[in-house]
Structure 1
Amino acid sequence: MKNKMLRKAVGAAAYIAAVFLLLQLLYTGINNPVIFPSPFEVAEIMAEQITDPQCIDAIAITILRVSLGIAASFLTGAVLGIVRFFYPWTSRILDRFVLLLRSLPNITLIILFLFWFDGESCIFFVICLVLFPLVYQACADSLVQIGQEWKDLFAVYSQPRLYLLKKIYLPLLKPDLGSALISVSSLGFKVGVMAEILSQVRSGIGRSMQIAKLNIDIASLFAWTAWLLIVVFVYEQFVKKLIRICFK
């Protein structure tokens, strides 16, 4: 166990060192700190940001917003996927609605919701509507596959739908729902930060990126991007551990 953790730590350190070296080579080659800052400068800014309470608040607020959006989209997608399977007449309506959501550009959703709601609500609804189709489709497809595999058994031993859902479908759905949750976790941050930038909320990683852009502070923009990558990585590891605990 210790050797495995040591190998992972060494591998992560080697990967970070390689990225850092690549950025330094690009900085040296471009030779224009306004366009491409030094990785040492970015690291120095990150060290300053981690001691700033406003930075911690911005990261925490973004994590909270994205988590709420992910939870809502996951529950909505799973419930509607189950409804579609047990009530086939709803499939036409739900599938067309999901197709519509997938066809709409994310920027269109953000602009529309900014007309209808405040910035905070806009971010929540955008995350939900962008992520919901992924969970819905994964749940619907898995249920159809399970139904086909167990069709003969269900025909012989008929049981109420609620019993089948609790004892058969939900346990067999766990791996696919876990994979869908991992997928929407990283995508949720991409969508959420983009919505923060466009909705111009008071705080958040997206808002901090917007301020860095307006100030033409590329080094701070790189620093916030690095923080976003770190947050997404840690968040995904947390989600995977949560899935192992809840979906085992």
Structure 2
Amino acid sequence: MTDSITKNKRKSLNKIFIFIFWIAVWQGAYLVIQRDLYVPAPLDVFLRLKELVVLEVFWRSVAYSIYRVIAGLILSIVLGVVIGIISSLNDYVYDLINPLMAAIKSTPVLSFIIIALIWFSSSNVPIFICFLMCFPVIWTNVVAGIRNVDIKLLEMAKVYHVKKWLVLKKIYLPSIVPYFSAACITCLGLGWKVSVAAEVLSHPRNAIGSHLYSAKVYLDSSELFAWTLVVILLSILFENIFARLIEKSTMNKSAKAKI
């Protein structure tokens, strides 16, 4: 118990040290460049962020951006899992879908955003872009997870006539979960980046990206950095929440298995 508390304290101290280190690097860059337009002082950015958080428009923009990211992620996860399972079990479907995944991965995000601006309203463009960029990641990992299932376990299940739902629960799911978890964590960071980029170009009414664009137009570097900091913090928060949920579910399963 004492060792775990000590480890937690060390982790917390390490995080604080890392935070202070990078703030010091930021402050050093500010002192070297000495141009607020290029690199504003950390204190100015934090003060601007303090001014923003008391505004209603701040929280409304954050809420709408979170909604767009979550909507895009849910679409990519649902379709990625369904199509990934079908693709991994059918070579013809895999051969049909694989070139599309390669095309999406190799095409610049900006091209898709411009196309989406023609197809959708400004509010729906970030959702589509988030889905489009995260879908190949989910699909690839689901396919890899299913195709890396131990063949010997499947043969043994076949010999002993194990029911299909048990094969799915005890063999396929444990193999897919690590790949799926890694894909989701990757997509949480990727989803925020591409969604905000789409908001900057599509300029919906309530969006973090719209405020980033406005800050750029008015050359307000402090606000630009403040909104960028918000995106980083939200991305880290989402990743940590998902990682904790995965960790808790894994611990519960192991506890049940012991019982």
TM-score where L is the length of structure 1? 0.92
Residue aligning to 1:127:
130
1:12 maps to 2:19: no
- The one-letter code of the counterpart of 1:75 is V
Pick from 221, 226, 234: which aligns with 1:223? 226
Bigger shift: 151-160 or 233-242? 151-160
Residue aligning to 2:94:
91
Deviations 1:2-34 (A, max 9, x none): 433332332222222111211111111111112
Residue aligning to 1:141:
144
1:31 maps to 2:34: yes
Q: Is there any run of 5+ residues in structure 1 with no aligned partner, and where? A: none
Residue aligning to 1:42:
45
CA drift of 1:37 comes to 1.1
Pick from 111, 116, 120: which aligns with 1:117? 120
How many aligned positions are there? Answer: 248
Identity across matched positions, percent: 27
Q: Is there any run of 5+ residues in structure 2 with no aligned partner, and where? A: 254-259
**Secondary structure of the equivalent of 1:150?**
helix
Residue aligning to 2:186:
183
RMSD: 1.9
Pick from 39, 61, 65: which aligns with 1:62? 65
Distance 1:147 1:3 in 2: 39
1:153 maps to 2:159: no
**Secondary structure of the equivalent of 1:119?**
coil
Inter-CA distance 149–94: structure 2 relative to 1 (3 Å threshold): farther
CA drift of 1:45 comes to 0.5
Pick from 215, 240, 243: which aligns with 1:240? 243
Pick from 208, 211, 216: which aligns with 1:208? 211
Distance 2:117 2:80 in 1: 24
- Kept in 1, the 8 Å contact 2:144–2:179? The answer is no
Bigger shift: 43-52 or 184-193? 43-52
TM-score where L is the length of structure 2? 0.88
Distance 2:99 2:168 in 1: 25
Distance 1:160 1:102 in 2: 38
Distance 1:64 1:170 in 2: 29
Distance 2:30 2:214 in 1: 23
Distance 1:115 1:163 in 2: 47
**Secondary structure of the equivalent of 1:58?**
helix
Deviations 1:83-106 (A, max 9, x none): 012222211111122112112211
Residue aligning to 2:25:
22
Deviations 1:181-240 (A, max 9, x none): 111111110011101111111112111111100111011111111111111111111011
Deviations 1:63-82 (A, max 9, x none): 12111111211121111111
Bigger shift: 158-167 or 215-224? 158-167
Inter-CA distance 214–181: structure 2 relative to 1 (3 Å threshold): same
